[in-house]
């Protein structure tokens, strides 16, 4: 599992939901949706919800619902 995937998964496990701006600021991740796709493909159940921000725009916020049965990130 690539480093950004590990960082995002660790964030979801320990800090909870994440948005694209948090991923960019904390992990230099410009493509959070792609990393979430990778994690889903690895078997993690991740839920997204559109959240309204101060400007009135909506952004996706991702939450870990259930981890994959066999998580490569824990063993590497």
pLDDT tens for the chain, 76 residues: list them: 679 999 999 999 999 999 999 999 999 999 999 999 999 999 999 999 999 989 999 999 999 999 998 755 443 3
Q: Is there a contact between 32 and 11 (Cβ–Cβ < 8 Å)? A: no
Q: Residue with structure tokens 């921000």?
A: 53
CA distances from 60 to 38, 40, 72 (A): 16, 16, 26
Tell me the CATH architecture of domain 3-70.
Answer: Orthogonal Bundle (1.10)
What is residue 76's predicted lDDT score, i.e. its pLDDT? 39
Could you tell me the residue ranges of all domains in the chain? 3-70
Q: What is the three-state SS of 28-70?
A: CCCCHHHHHHHHHHCCCEEEEEEEECCCCCEEEEEEEEECCCC
What is residue 2's predicted lDDT score, i.e. its pLDDT? 79
What is residue 70's predicted lDDT score, i.e. its pLDDT? 73
């Amino acid at each position: 599992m690539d480093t950004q995937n590990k960082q995002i998964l660790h964030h979801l496990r320990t800090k909870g939901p994440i948005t694209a701006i948090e991923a960019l600021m904390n992990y230099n991740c410009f493509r959070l949706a792609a990393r979430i796709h990778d994690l889903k493909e690895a078997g993690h159940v991740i839920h997204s919800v559109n959240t309204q921000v101060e400007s009135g725009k909506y952004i996706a916020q991702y939450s870990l619902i259930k981890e994959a049965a066999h998580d490569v990130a824990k063993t590497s």
